[in-house]
Structure 1
């Protein structure tokens, strides 16, 4: 797959290592219902995306330089429900429940083939890490999903101060690996073409894109993409790229 032996492999978190058990709007609707409010999932989806885009532009990287990440998410929840729920205290309760629940397996499940791939790579002595545009909850999430121990480091954009595709977050990952490794010996695996694949390439790394639907990636050479991590493990094994 690659001309050089790979010594460091990093993963994106959401939609690569982990998947949502249900869509955010489904879960938001569920928590609202548990607090006595019926809100359409379609309405939540529309308002969630709008508020997420607005706050990501106004307060980048989960508000790292301006507001605490917890307050950033609270504002997202308020903007999502403001037109449907007039009780501010109720929205605060919903926000608290959502922030806490999204630390747990209530909301997350392992992506197909993730555990098998992590075990395989660990067995072959590859240094593993996580690079994710995420807030600090990711450490707790990975612990509760029983995968944190596979990684030498977990680097979130919030902690790094840079978000993918900024090459500096990839450079920070090399330093955290605590191993003599060059960019061309590094591989990043993710689901976002710009943030993960182009970000990795811009840092001199290799990149692999994991997407459920390859038809949307016709511009990308098939060797740089796969449908899931089971397929990717098979390719690693057949090409003996860590020997």
Structure 2
């Protein structure tokens, strides 16, 4: 039987793993609208955003990259359609809010870092592991990580916009493994999404860990040793793999 490769790398998802949107997208859009004198209901904007986001994600997956869109165009249309559903009709207002919201989401002010994120990154690095990012995110990803003071932890960052494919496509993991320069079984991946992060990474031969902060997947077919409820648990799980 072939010996396993020693664990060398940990790949990270970002949104809802290391950071989350502060408040909600709707709250952020309302703040921008308020600067232009509009008073909108957070709940109404959030509900509209949910509908529009699902529609665009279905019709133009991965920010419409394969259909000739960029993430900036995609997000600006999402914002404008969201506000249009809330009876905002002035094209200049829609454009301004959409553009400013797009820019603002590069900044740490719009994101909340989980308190277990930085300690986990530091602990993994101190174990001698190299860290990379593989995230369904647009090309603002490096700016977000930089703004949150996390970019320096990572040897490389792959966004689904730059990769041209999102998780759970095996192709994005192939790109990541090329950057790691190691076999799949010497790489772990951690993220919060059952399909995109856990099942996809394990299908690609990586050691997938599911971060289940709110016990949403307690009944899923995920072995106990692959599921964590806090990033505080991750370093010791990785250490076990390093010494197998």
TM-score clears 0.5: yes
Give the whole-Å Cα distance in 1 for the aligned partners of 2:130 and 2:174: 15
Question: Within the alignment, does 1:157 sit opposite 2:160 as a pair?
Answer: yes
Give the whole-Å Cα distance in 2 for the aligned partners of 1:223 and 1:41: 40
Superposition RMSD in Å: 1.8
What residue number does 2:145 align with? Answer: 142
The answer on whether the counterparts of 1:214 and 1:226 sit within 8 Å (CA) in structure 2 is no
Q: 1:89 aligns with which of 85, 88, 92?
A: 92
Instruction: Look up the SS of the partner of 2:31 in the other structure.
Output: helix
What residue number does 2:193 align with? Answer: 192
What residue number does 1:30 align with? Answer: 31
What residue number does 1:49 align with? Answer: 50
What residue number does 1:224 align with? Answer: 226
| Gap runs ≥5 in structure 1 | none
Report the CA distance between 1:204 and its aligned residue. Answer: 1.0
Question: Within the alignment, does 1:104 sit opposite 2:116 as a pair?
Answer: no
The answer on whether the counterparts of 2:19 and 2:112 sit within 8 Å (CA) in structure 1 is yes
Report the CA distance between 1:42 and its aligned residue. Answer: 1.7
What residue number does 1:169 align with? Answer: 172
Give the whole-Å Cα distance in 2 for the aligned partners of 1:171 and 1:69: 22
Report the CA distance between 1:7 and its aligned residue. Answer: 1.1
Question: Within the alignment, does 1:132 sit opposite 2:135 as a pair?
Answer: yes
The answer on whether the counterparts of 2:7 and 2:241 sit within 8 Å (CA) in structure 1 is no
Question: Within the alignment, does 1:14 sit opposite 2:15 as a pair?
Answer: yes
Report the CA distance between 1:174 and its aligned residue. Answer: 0.7
What residue number does 2:242 align with? Answer: 241
CA distance 1:242–1:9, shift in 2 (3 Å): farther
Deviations 1:171-206 (A, max 9, x none): 1001112x3x21111111000001000110111111
The answer on whether the counterparts of 2:134 and 2:157 sit within 8 Å (CA) in structure 1 is yes
The answer on whether the counterparts of 2:45 and 2:83 sit within 8 Å (CA) in structure 1 is yes
Q: 1:67 aligns with which of 46, 66, 69?
A: 69
The answer on whether the counterparts of 2:211 and 2:231 sit within 8 Å (CA) in structure 1 is yes
CA distance 1:217–1:4, shift in 2 (3 Å): farther
Runs of 4+ with deviation above 6 angstroms: none
| Gap runs ≥5 in structure 2 | none
